């Protein structure tokens, strides 16, 4: 039996596995297939180090009617899921009040500030330094007024040390000649980088983990089996049980159901995203470009040009609506004349999203042999290496290098329930969150 069993082999699980090996633990990763379903495979590949301001922020409310009525809007709620998703949506909107956003910014800044340094150390050790592309990202806009209209975000980023530089049309043309259409200006996001392809990075890191003696069990976990304040086994969908010593729960958007088995109810949503991957786009894009007005990202990857983004609130395992991938591909044509979308491959996958955009990085409140690491929202790829290190701190019972209070699983619970749960009451009572 390995010292640690990690449920979920996305970027968070794999980086945690390597960090735990560094501590001397033997580690088994359990994943139902290290392939294409995970968000870590299909994301936009940005090392989005300045993404400290949540999507839900002051000024968001007037946009809500459009999300509900326009399937082409960058954030759309599937009408049939409206009622089931409403509690989460209300919490998400409530997190957008000014005071709360300032708390979130304070919580996200220390995590994101160390993302590059933690990845560089990890990728260097794994011989994968070339997978982090040393080019800044660009955010493109139709007008300067669009930038000024979100001065709240840009001022906060500047205050926290994330630099950006204005690019007028001429500057933009000089570095991204293929961009045209309605785009007139941009911001150079100086510290943001990109991965050469996130799925390849995740797979190569998994190979590195295996090469150091880690093991991978391909199986679907259907539950956690607990006894007297410890998780003693994982239950597989085959019906088998596998005994465990310690568990890290890192199953991305699918973590919520497993967490419930140990009395941890968290408001974790799966916000579906899409991409359209073009092996031969017929245009050259030099940097990752976030097109603010279009709500999508263009990322030049070693596997082709990825057009990714859009948020769809549609539950955990919905049938893909690839019309959303077509919509972003069509929008991309309007800013990249000559873009060839033929032969493109479409993908859908879930961002694991807490209403306040902050992840859960915490010990389970009732079971001291379980660490939880999920809910990284739109920055999970960026935070993989950093989360891995913090997970190792928690497993090793070491004081973490940063204060983990903002990432507590119990932060949405009523105070009285937190107090009860921290006494380790057994049998478990599900507290409302």
Ligand X SMILES: Cc1cc2nc3c(=O)[nH]c(=O)nc-3n(C[C@H](O)[C@H](O)[C@H](O)COP(=O)(O)OP(=O)(O)OC[C@H]3O[C@@H](n4cnc5c(N)ncnc54)[C@H](O)[C@@H]3O)c2cc1C
Q: Report the alpha-carbon distance of residue 339 to residue 279 in Å, rounded.
A: 11
| 13 near ligand X, rule: CB under 6 A | yes
Q: Which residue in the set 46, 371, 385, 395 belongs to the binding site for ligand X (CB under 6 A)?
A: 46
Give the x/- contact pattern for ligand X in 258-287, rule: CB under 6 A: ---------------x-x------------
Where does 17-160 show beta strands of DSSP type E? Answer: 27-31, 46-47, 75-77, 132-133, 137-141
Give the x/- contact pattern for ligand X in 282-321, rule: CB under 6 A: --------------------------xx------------
Locate 377 and state its tokens. 């929202």
Locate 180 and state its tokens. 């045209």
Q: Which residues pair with 394 in a beta bridge?
A: none
Locate 253 and state its tokens. 């958007």
With respect to ligand X, which residue has the nearer C-beta, 193 or 431? Answer: 193
Of 9-17, 81-89, 153-161, 388-396, the segment contacting ligand X by CB under 6 A is 9-17
| 244 near ligand X, rule: CB under 6 A | no
| 48 near ligand X, rule: CB under 6 A | yes
Number of C-beta neighbours around residue 386 at 10 A: 28
| 39 near ligand X, rule: CB under 6 A | yes
Q: Report the alpha-carbon distance of residue 141 to residue 185 in Å, rounded.
A: 6
| 37 near ligand X, rule: CB under 6 A | yes
CB 305 within 8 A of CB 200: no
Q: Report the alpha-carbon distance of residue 364 to residue 408 in Å, rounded.
A: 9
Q: Report the alpha-carbon distance of residue 328 to residue 347 in Å, rounded.
A: 12
| 54 near ligand X, rule: CB under 6 A | no
Please report how close the Cβ of residue 133 comes to ligand X at its closest, in angstroms: 12
Q: Which residue in the set 54, 107, 186, 252 belongs to the binding site for ligand X (CB under 6 A)?
A: 252
What sign results for the dihedral spanned by CA atoms 221, 223, 229, 233? negative
Give the x/- contact pattern for ligand X in 357-396, rule: CB under 6 A: -----------------x-xxxxxxx--------------
Locate 296 and state its tokens. 């999508």
Q: Report the alpha-carbon distance of residue 352 to residue 58 in Å, rounded.
A: 22
Of 73-81, 92-100, 127-135, 344-352, the segment contacting ligand X by CB under 6 A is 344-352
Q: Which residue in the set 69, 158, 220, 280 belongs to the binding site for ligand X (CB under 6 A)?
A: 220
With respect to ligand X, which residue has the nearer C-beta, 329 or 421? Answer: 329
With respect to ligand X, which residue has the nearer C-beta, 101 or 383? Answer: 383
Q: Report the alpha-carbon distance of residue 98 to residue 92 in Å, rounded.
A: 13
| Contacting positions for ligand X (CB under 6 A) | 7-13, 30-33, 37-40, 42-46, 48, 220-221, 250-254, 273, 275, 308-309, 349, 351-352, 374, 376-382
């Amino acid at each position: 039996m390995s010292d640690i069993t990690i449920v979920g082999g996305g970027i968070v699980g794999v980086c945690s596995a390597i960090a735990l090996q560094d501590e001397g633990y033997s580690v088994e990763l359990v994943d139902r297939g290290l392939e294409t379903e995970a968000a870590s495979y299909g994301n936009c590949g940005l090392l989005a180090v300045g993404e400290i301001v949540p999507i839900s922020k002051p000024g968001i409310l007037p946009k809500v009617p459009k999300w509900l009525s326009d399937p082409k809007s960058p954030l759309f709620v599937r009408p049939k899921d409206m009622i089931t998703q409403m509690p989460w949506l209300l919490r998400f909107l409530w997190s957008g009040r000014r005071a709360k956003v300032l708390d979130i910014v304070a919580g996200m800044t220390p995590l994101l500030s160390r993302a590059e340094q933690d990845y560089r150390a990890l990728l260097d050790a794994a011989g994968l330094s070339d997978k982090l592309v040393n080019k800044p990202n660009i955010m493109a806009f139709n007008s300067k007024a669009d930038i000024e209209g979100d001065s709240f975000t840009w001022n906060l980023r500047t205050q926290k040390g994330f630099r950006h530089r204005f690019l007028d049309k001429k500057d933009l043309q000089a570095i991204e000649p293929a961009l045209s259409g309605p785009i007139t200006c941009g911001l150079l996001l100086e510290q943001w980088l990109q991965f050469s392809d996130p799925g390849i990075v995740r797979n190569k890191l998994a190979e590195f983990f295996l090469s150091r003696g880690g093991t991978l069990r391909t199986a679907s976990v259907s539950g956690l089996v607990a006894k007297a304040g410890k998780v003693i086994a994982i239950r597989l969908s085959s019906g088998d049980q596998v005994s465990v010593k310690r568990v890290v729960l890192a199953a991305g958007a699918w973590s919520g159901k497993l967490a419930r088995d140990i009395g941890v109810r968290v408001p974790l949503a799966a916000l579906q995203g899409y991409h359209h991957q073009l092996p031969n786009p017929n245009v050259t894009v030099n940097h990752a470009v976030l097109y603010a007005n279009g709500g999508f990202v263009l990322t030049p990857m070693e596997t082709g040009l990825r057009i990714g983004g859009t948020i769809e609130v549609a539950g955990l395992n919905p049938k893909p609506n690839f019309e959303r991938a077509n919509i972003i591909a069509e929008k991309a044509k309007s800013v990249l004349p000559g873009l060839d979308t033929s032969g493109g491959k479409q993908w859908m996958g879930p961002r694991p999203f807490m209403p306040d955009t902050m992840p859960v990085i915490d010990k389970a409140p009732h079971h001291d042999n379980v660490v939880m690491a999920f809910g990284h929202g739109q920055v999970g790829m960026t935070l993989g290496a950093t989360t891995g290190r913090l997970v190792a701190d928690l497993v090793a019972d070491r004081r973490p290098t940063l204060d983990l209070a903002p990432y507590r699983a119990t932060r949405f619970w009523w105070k009285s329930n937190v107090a009860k749960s921290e006494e380790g009451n057994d049998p478990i009572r599900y507290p409302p969150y």
